[in-house]
Structure 1
Amino acid sequence: MSSCGNPSTESDALMSRRPKFDKSKHCVKCKVALGNIVIRHAVYCKECFFSLVAFKFRRALEPFVNAKPDGPRRTALKPAGNLLLGFSGGLGSTVLLDLVHRSYIANRKDELRRDGGKDHPRHDKVWKRVIVCYVELCDALPGRKDKISEVAEAVAQYEGVEFVPLRVQDAFDPLWWRCIYGEDAVSQLRINLENDELTSMLTNPLSTNPLESLRSYLSSLPTSTAVCSALHALTRVLLLHTAAETDSSHLLLGTSLTSLAISLIRGIGQGAGFNIEQEIQEEWLSDIRPPNFDSNDRANENQKGVRVIRPLRDVGLKECAFWAWWEKLRIVGEDRTGWPDSRQEIGGLTKDFIMGLEKDYPSTVSTIVRTCAKLSPRGEVSGKCVLCERPAQEGVQEWKSRISVRTTAQSVDATAPPLPAPLQADNASATRLASHLCYACHTTLTSRSARPPPPLYLSATKTSSTTLPVWVAPRIMRKVGEDEMRATVQEFLIEE
C-alpha cells in the first residue's frame, strides 16, 4: 500500500509506512527468542506460535464437546457420538486434521507409553471413531480433476482416522439416501422454475441417473452466484447426513478466520443474513429418522443431533499457512477451476475484497467476524428450509410479494411449455415449494439476471423443471409424530 502525500514532493516529506511489528523483534510471549512470524503486528517465535495455534484450536472446540457446554468449571470431554471432519483438501481442512490427530489421537498414545495404566480413564479416547469425509465436485464443474485418490493418500498418513469419500451427485441418488434412512424415506420432487411459487410434484419413477439430475439442477439455476451457492448448500447437507449415518455428534469444518469472514459477508450479500449465527456455529437435527431409531431409547435420543463447529475460526489464513509449512503438511489443494463467469459471482468478488483487506489491514478481518458474532436475527423462525436445512424466517414470502414483481403459476399457464408427466399429474397434490424455503434458497432458484451466465455444460439443455435433492421430498411429506404435535401445542393445553 502506497504512502499518503504529494508525489511531486521529496521522498523525505512522505508519511512513513507503519512498521510490521510494534516494539521489539523478540517474541511477545517468551520475551527471549527472536521472532519468526508477525501476527497482527505481534511477534512470535516458532515454539510459541505452535502453542498459540493449539490453544486457539482447543479454546474454540473443547467447551462445546460435551452435550451440555461447559461453564466456568472444566469437566472431562465426553461427546455423545463420533467425530466427522469435513475435508476439502485445502489449507484449513489440512491443518484441522493435523491438529485433531495431534490433540486427540497421537497424544493419547504418547501419554499411555509415558504414564502406563492403560485402563485409567484419563487414557480413554475422546471420540471412539474419527472419520474424514471428502465431497468430490469434479462432476459438477467442467475442467476439474478427480482428487479422491489424492485425498485418500493424504488422509492415510494419519493413523486412527477413517476415510469416507462422497460425490456431490449423491445428493440426487436415491440409493445413497436409502442406505441411511431406509426404503420408506425415498421419494423425489420436481419443481417448475417458470414461476416464483415453484410448483412441485413427486417424480415417478425415481431418478436413476444422479449425475444427470445434478447437471440439470445446476443448469437450471439463473445466475453464477446461484450455482456456487447451490454447491455450498449441497456439500454442507451431504456432510450433515453423513454425520447422522456415522453416528457422529460433532462435525468439524476447517474454516479459518479469513474464510469465515468471507462466508459471513457472502451470506449476507446472498440474503442469508437470518442464518448468520449458523454460519459461525450450528446445532443440526435431522427430521428424518433412520429405520433402527427408537424414540423410547434415551441414549439414542441424545445422539440424534449434530453440532457443527469451526475450531479454526480464531486462526487466520497466514497462521494456517505457516503451520502447514513448518510441519511439512501435504496440501492436496482445492481445485478452483470453474466456468468463465465464476469470478464475477458474489462469492468470488467477496473473496478478492477480503483477501486484499487482510493484506493491508490484518486486524480488520477479525473485526468483521467479531461484529457478525454480535448480530442476532430479527423475526421469528417458521421452521427449517427443506433445501439447505437451516432456519427459515417467518413471513418472508408475504414480505417478498409486497416488494417485488413476481410471476405466479396462473400467469404462466398460457405461455409455459408443456410440463413433464410427473408435473402434469394431479394438480390438487401439487406443492408450492416457495413456502418451505428460506429467503436465500428461494432467491437462489428464482433470482434473474439481466445477463444470463454462460452454460455450464455444452450437452445440457436448460429446462423449465428440474429434480430436487433427495432430502427435500421426505421433509415435505413426513408425518408429524404424536410427541412433536404435543410439543407444538403444549402451551395451549389445559391441565386437568
Structure 2
Amino acid sequence: MASCEIGGNEEALMPKRRKIRSRSCIKCKGEKGHLLVRGLVYCKTCLQALVVQNFKKSINECITPATSSSTVLAVGYSGGLGSTLLLHLVAQSLVSNSQRTRRHRWDEVHVIHVHDPSIPGDEDTLAKIESAVAAYPSFHLTLVPLDQSFAGGGYEGSPASSLHTFRSNMPTQTATTDGTRLLTRRLLERTSKSLGATHLLLGRSMSSLSMSLLSSVCLGRGFTIADERQSSSGGVISFNPLKDLGSKECAAYAWWNNIQVISSQITRPSLTGTSGEIQELTRAFITGLEKDYPSTVSTIVKTCAKVVAKGDSESECRLCSRRMQTQGERASSPAMIAITARKTQLPVQDLCYACETMLTSANSKSAVDTLPPLFPVWALVDDD
C-alpha cells in the first residue's frame, strides 16, 4: 500500500479513498457503471468514447499545420499495452477513410520496433510483432536491431559485440537499463527521420509516463524532464498521445475491443538480473500508488508538465541529444556530486550531467572502470 507515513505519525497518513455512493455513469447518468476511474464511474460506452476523445485531443494539440510538413507518420511499437492500443487508435481515428479529417491525412504510417537480438527468444518475439502489425494492412513495419546504434562507428568486431561492450562498461545496473532505453529512444527518432516522418507517436500512458518522469529526476535528467512528455530531435517531434489515460482505462478499452497485447505472451529476461535498479523501484512505487491513490499519478504528470528549466541552453549532449546545462551551471549546482575521472572517446563537456554520471558513477565497484567506453555512432558524427 502506498502512503506518506512519516515516523509513525498517524496524522501524516494520506486519507483513505471515499466510498462511491452512485453506481450510475458520471457521463450519461443513465447506464450502469462498468469501471471506476480516479473516483468517477463510467459505463462501457462512455469510457470508450473518452479514450478516443483524449487521444484525438492530444493529437490535435501536438500535430499542428505549422509542424506537420509530411504525410508520413511514425509510431513506436514495443508490443506492450500502450503501444498496442496506440496502433488501434491510429488505425481507427487517423487512417480509416470513414473518419479521416482534413486536418490530419497520412499517406504512410510506419510502425517502428526496436529489438535486441541478444535476448533469448528474440526471433519468436519478432514473429509475434509481425503478426500483430499485419492486422493493419495499411501500416508498414520497420524492424531495427538495438546493435544498429554501433553500426558504422569504425569499431573492431561486429555491432553486436560493440553493444555488449557498451553495456559491460556501465558501472551500475541502473546505468545499464538507462543506457539501453537511451539507445532505443534515439533509434526510434533516427529511424523516423530516415523514413521522412515529422512526428513520432509513443505508446506511454499516464502510468508509464509518470514512471519515466520520476526515474528521469532520480537519474539526474531533471533539466530536460519536459522532453519526456514531448521532445524534438532532428526535425522529428516525439510525444505521447495516451498521456491522459491511465493503465486501467487502457486495459479496459483493449479488453472490450478484443485487442491482443503480445507483451503478456512474452517473457523478457532482465538485462541485469535484479529488480533493484531505480527504474524497477519507481515502477513498483507508481503501481502501488495507482492502486491506492490513482489521482496522485495524474498529479505527477500534470506537475511535471509545469516544470521548465531555468534559462535556455543551445548545447546538446552528444549521447542523448538533449539540451544540457552549461559547465558554469553544473559547477555551481548545490546538488553536484563528485565524478571519478575516466578516459573516454568524447570530451566530458560534450556530455550532459546525467549521461556523464551514467558512464562514470562514483559509487561504482566495477572492475572495468578503466576501460574506455564505446559510444553509439550518432555521438561521433554530426548528422542531425
- TM-score category (smaller protein): 0.7 to 0.9
Q: Is structure 2 residue 308 aligned with structure 1 residue 376?
A: yes
Partner of 1:39: 37
Q: Judge conservation of contact 1:386–1:436 (CA < 8 Å) in 2.
A: yes
Partner of 1:241: 190
Q: Could you tell me which of 118, 123, 130 is aligned with 2:109?
A: 130
Partner of 2:51: 53
User: Which structure has the larger Rg over C-alpha atoms?
Assistant: 1
Partner of 1:391: 323
Q: Distance in 2 between matches of 1:382 and 1:223?
A: 30
Q: 1:208-262: CA deviations, max 9, x gaps?
A: 5000000001001100110011011100000111011100011000000000100
Q: Distance in 2 between matches of 1:125 and 1:17?
A: 44
Partner of 1:447: 361
Q: Is structure 2 residue 268 aligned with structure 1 residue 319?
A: no
RMSD over equivalenced CA pairs, Å: 2.9
Q: CA deviation at 1:372?
A: 0.8
From the superposition, tell whether residues 238 and 47 of structure 1 become closer, same or farther in structure 2 (CA, over 3 Å). same
Partner of 2:258: 328
SS of 2:254's equivalent in the other structure is: helix
Structure 1 gaps of 5+ residues are 3-15, 70-77, 113-121, 175-187, 189-202, 286-304, 413-422, 424-430, 454-460, 481-496
Q: CA deviation at 1:41?
A: 1.2
Q: CA deviation at 1:473?
A: 1.0
Q: Judge conservation of contact 1:151–1:332 (CA < 8 Å) in 2.
A: yes
Q: Distance in 2 between matches of 1:236 and 1:377?
A: 21
Partner of 1:437: 351
Q: Judge conservation of contact 1:67–1:80 (CA < 8 Å) in 2.
A: no
Q: CA deviation at 1:367?
A: 0.5
SS of 1:393's equivalent in the other structure is: coil
Q: CA deviation at 1:378?
A: 2.2
Partner of 1:172: 150
Q: Is structure 2 residue 180 aligned with structure 1 residue 260?
A: no
Aligned AA (2:85): V
SS of 2:36's equivalent in the other structure is: strand
Q: Is structure 2 residue 90 aligned with structure 1 residue 100?
A: yes
Q: Is structure 2 residue 159 aligned with structure 1 residue 210?
A: yes
Q: Could you tell me which of 228, 237, 250 is aligned with 1:307?
A: 237
Partner of 2:136: 158
Q: CA deviation at 1:380?
A: 3.9
Q: CA deviation at 1:309?
A: 1.3
Q: Distance in 2 between matches of 1:435 and 1:89?
A: 37
| Segments ≥4 residues shifted beyond 4 Å | 16-20, 122-125, 399-409, 450-453
Q: 1:371-396: CA deviations, max 9, x gaps?
A: 11111112441411111111111125
SS of 1:311's equivalent in the other structure is: coil
From the superposition, tell whether residues 220 and 280 of structure 1 become closer, same or farther in structure 2 (CA, over 3 Å). same
Q: Could you tell me which of 59, 80, 93 is aligned with 2:70?
A: 80
Q: CA deviation at 1:156?
A: 0.3
Q: 1:146-193: CA deviations, max 9, x gaps?
A: 41111010000012111001110011112xxxxxxxxxxxxx3xxxxx
Higher relative contact order (CA 8 A, sep 6+): 1
From the superposition, tell whether residues 25 and 220 of structure 1 become closer, same or farther in structure 2 (CA, over 3 Å). same
Q: Judge conservation of contact 2:340–2:362 (CA < 8 Å) in 1.
A: no
SS of 1:320's equivalent in the other structure is: helix
From the superposition, tell whether residues 166 and 28 of structure 1 become closer, same or farther in structure 2 (CA, over 3 Å). same
From the superposition, tell whether residues 357 and 407 of structure 1 become closer, same or farther in structure 2 (CA, over 3 Å). closer
Q: Distance in 1 between matches of 2:259 and 2:225?
A: 32
Q: 1:99-137: CA deviations, max 9, x gaps?
A: 00000122x1x369xxxxxxxxx6797111001000012
Q: Distance in 1 between matches of 2:272 and 2:378?
A: 31
Q: Report how many residues are paired.
A: 369
Q: Is structure 2 residue 344 aligned with structure 1 residue 344?
A: no
Task: Point out the more displaced range, 331-340 or 380-389.
Answer: 331-340
Aligned AA (1:49): L
What TM-score, normalized to structure 1?
0.69
Q: 1:450-475: CA deviations, max 9, x gaps?
A: 5559xxxxxxx887123211111112
Partner of 2:9: none
From the superposition, tell whether residues 322 and 245 of structure 1 become closer, same or farther in structure 2 (CA, over 3 Å). same
Q: Distance in 2 between matches of 1:42 and 1:275?
A: 33
Q: Distance in 1 between matches of 2:60 and 2:205?
A: 17
From the superposition, tell whether residues 41 and 466 of structure 1 become closer, same or farther in structure 2 (CA, over 3 Å). same
Q: Could you tell me which of 20, 24, 27 is aligned with 2:25?
A: 27
Q: Judge conservation of contact 1:145–1:335 (CA < 8 Å) in 2.
A: no
From the superposition, tell whether residues 466 and 380 of structure 1 become closer, same or farther in structure 2 (CA, over 3 Å). same
Q: Distance in 2 between matches of 1:402 and 1:102?
A: 47
Q: Distance in 2 between matches of 1:60 and 1:376?
A: 20
What TM-score, normalized to structure 2?
0.88
Partner of 1:471: 378
SS of 1:307's equivalent in the other structure is: strand
